[in-house]
Each structure stands twice: as C-alpha cells, then as structure tokens.
Chain A
Amino acid sequence: MNVDVKCGLPATHHIFSGCGYPSPTQNAFVFNPIFSIGPLHVTKPELLMAICVVVIVGFFWVAFAKPKLVPRGAQNIGELGVLFVQNQVLRPMIGKKGDRFLPFLVSLFFFIWLMNLLEIIPVAQFPVTSHTGFVWILVAFVWLTYMSVGIRAKGPIGFFKNMVPSGAPWWILWLLAPLVLFSDILIRPFTLGVRLFANMFAGHLLLLVFYLATWYFTSANFGAVYAVGSLAMSIVLTGFELLIQMLQAFIFTMLAAFYIGDSMETAH
C-alpha cells in the first residue's frame, strides 16, 4: 500500500483529494497486541472472545443458577434458547438418543452466535469468528466428538467400514472408499470451519467497504450524495449481517449435530 504524507491523515483522505479509495484489505483483520503473556500476544479478537465467554456464562448464570418452575425474565429467554437448540437442531438431526449432546450443542451455538454478533455491536465491531484460531478449536471439538462417538458405537474398524456405502460394486470400491473416507474425516471439518470463518470474514469486509466509502465520500461537495447512498447500504447490510450471524451459528451447530448423528447411525 502506497502511503505518502498527503494521504496519511483521515481528514485529508476523501474523494477529490487526489488520494485513492482506501479499500479494506486482509490487514483489517490484523491487530497490534494489547498485552502479551509470554509468547501469547493478546489482541482485540482474543479480548472480545473473553468478553463473549464472560457474557454467555454470566447471562446463563443469571438465567439458570436458581431455576424456577414458573420462569421469569432471563430464565424465559434462556429456556427459549435452549429449547430452540433442542427442538430445531438436536431432535431433527439426531433424535432423542442424542439428548446427551445438548450441553455441547447449546454451548457451540451461543458461543458462535455471540462471537459473530460482535461484528455489529458498537465499539467491538469485529466478528471474532473471522479469525480462524477460534473456529478451528470449535471444529476440533466437533471432530473429536463425532469420531469418538462413531468409534465407540461401531468399533474402530466398523466405524470406517460403515462410512463406505454398502452394496457398491467391487471395481468401484477402490476409488469410492478413499474418497468417502477423505470426505468424512478431512473434508467435513475443513468445510465446517471454512464456511463459518469465510462468511464472517466476507461479512466484515463487506461492511468495511461501505462504511469506508461513506467516510471517503463525505466532503463538502457533490460526494455527500454518494455518502448518503453508501451509508444506507451500510445500514441495510448490517441488518443482513445480523441474519447471517444467526444463520452461520445455526448451520455450524446443525452440521455438528448431523455429523454426530451420522456417526451413531449403523446403516449408511
């Protein structure tokens, strides 16, 4: 990026100032460390994630610490969330036999959702899940869960044999078996993680493009018209992102449930 003295300060960096549009890059996702603990450099995303943890545990503590038979306030909302995961994700994907995975799926859903949601929360304004480190950890938990569930349900050999569709002709098996194993063991976690990360990454870039454009167009002359249009677009996209954040958390949790349920099933 070519930074000269003329274009260095925000106040001078508008349209008609001779400087180009400062399009957002991958660098928008790189932060300077706030503080370091040994080799670990804590930056904004880590801090936001820690806040998410506190908020989730705090909220559900208020809601569920002393549950009442007749729910009030936070307990109502918490129950709504838990029952949503149970009835919309767990039961359709695994069925009643998967009820022991409810704590895992509820934790996943709310953790991801809140980390996504921070993208449009003022001051934070950054989706934690656009940093892959947090996503891969969650994917690792899902992968370990569905692999161990499968191996426990069918035995180490039976589990892998079960992945390959039965009844396939022998001459296709040499091609089919590696593909299916590759898909179930490696592609699944990879796509699960990338889907979440890329959606949040792209969403953040999209919002940046229009917010930066709003600021870029803001000037005393004709550019203000563009600025208004760009601002309107930013607001619309913020609403759109609100939907995407919820949807991605839902899809991640649902696929996790599907993989677990798939591992429990005997017939492929």
Chain B
Amino acid sequence: MHLVVMAAAAQSETNPLIPSATELVMGLIGFVVVFGGLGKILLPRIQKTLAERTDLIEGGLHRADEAQAEATKVLEQYREQLREARQEAARLREEAKEQGAQIIAEMREQAQAEASRLVESAHAQIDADRQQALGTLRRQVGDLATELAGRIVGESLADEARQSRVVDRFLDELESTGDQATQLRAGR
C-alpha cells in the first residue's frame, strides 16, 4: 500500500469527480452486460417461475376448496338418502304392522265363521239325528204299544187304519207333554 501511495505521488492530483474514459467505456459495457444477462435473459425466467408458482398455489387452494365443497355436497346427499331410507323403513314397518293386524283380524273372522258354521252344521246334524231318533222311537213305541194293547185287549186290531189313528193320537198327546218338558229344560 505504501508503494502504491508512493507510485501515485508522482502523478498529478486529479479531481475525483471527473471520470476517466476507460472507466466510462468499461462501466457502460459492464452495466450493459449485467442488464442484458440478468435483467433481460435471467429475470424473465424467474418471474415466469414465480408467477407459475403463485398460480400453482392459488390453483391448489382453489382445487382444495372445490374438493371440500364436493365432499360437503356428497355428505349432504348421503344424509338425505339415509333420512329417506329411515323414513322408508319406518313406513314399511307401519305397513307391515297394519297388514299383520289386518291378517290377524281376517283370520279371526274366518275362524269364527268356520266355528259358527261347524256349530250350525253340528246343530243341524243333531236336529236331524233327533228327528230320525224321534221317528224311529215313535215307530217302535207305536209297535210296542200296539202289540202291548193288543195283548191286553186280546183282540187283534186288524184294521191298519184304525190302529194307526189310535197310535198317532196317543203319541201326539205324549209329544205335547214332552215338548213342554223340553221347553222347560231350554229355559233353564
């Protein structure tokens, strides 16, 4: 440094504000190179990249928003479907309950009808049997009574008609007393 100072001492003092031609020329070239290389070639590339990055981030946020909205919509749809399914199930259960009750009622009705039909037919059967029995009984009782009366009276009541007429009158009297007895039993 000392040597530099000494070497410079020989030169005349210059105004530092006045530039040398070399500096101006080289400074011009230097800045043009920096501006051309950095400013015109490299900077546009990085600005493009920065813009792309901003786009990507904003795009990503936008897509995330969309996905969120989509998910919310789908969830809403599922909830709606679930609610509908529940309502459907409840409705089906109600229907099934109603149908069950109806079926039970119908069955009961049918059973009752069947039962009453059976009872009626049984009654009819019983009546028929009773009539038959009465008929049979009447005939046998008549025969027996006739035979008995014939034996007691000692004469044969040959005349069929007369014989029959006597027996019927006798049985009618007998029946009227029997009906009174039956009515008394039923009224009990």
Contacts and interface: CB of A to CB of B under 8 A. Distances in A.
Contact of B33 (A43, A57, A102, A138): A57
B49 A69 contact: yes
A194 interface: yes
Interface in A182-227: 194, 197, 201, 208, 211-212
A197 to B, nearest CB: 7
Nearest to B52: A69
A143 interface: no
Interface residues of B, number: 46
Interface string A112-149: 00000000000000000011111111100100000000
Interface centre among A40, A41, A78, A138 (most CB of B within 10 A): A40
A100 to B, nearest CB: 11
B42 A136 contact: no
A258 interface: no
| Chain A binding surface, main DSSP class | helix
A64 B45 contact: yes
Interface of A: 1, 3, 8, 10, 13, 22, 24-32, 39-43, 45-46, 49-50, 52-53, 56-57, 60-61, 63-65, 67-69, 75, 78-79, 82-83, 102-104, 106-107, 110-111, 130-138, 141, 194, 197, 201, 208, 211-212
A27 B5 contact: yes
B20 interface: yes
Interface of B: 1-9, 11, 13-14, 16-28, 30-31, 33-35, 37-40, 42-50, 52-53, 56
A78 B43 CA distance: 10
A1 B3 CA distance: 13
A187 to B, nearest CB: 15
A140 to B, nearest CB: 8
B24 A136 contact: yes
A193 to B, nearest CB: 9
B46 A64 contact: yes
Contact of A56 (B5, B34, B56): B34
Nearest to B11: A30
A201 B26 CA distance: 20
A207 to B, nearest CB: 11
Contacts of B49: 67-69
A107 B34 contact: yes
B24 A137 contact: yes
26 contacts: A1-B5, A10-B3, A13-B2, A27-B5, A29-B16, A40-B22, A40-B26, A53-B30, A53-B34, A57-B37, A57-B42, A61-B37, A61-B42, A78-B46, A102-B47, A103-B43, A106-B39, A107-B31, A111-B30, A132-B16, A133-B21, A134-B26, A136-B19, A137-B28, A138-B27, A212-B1
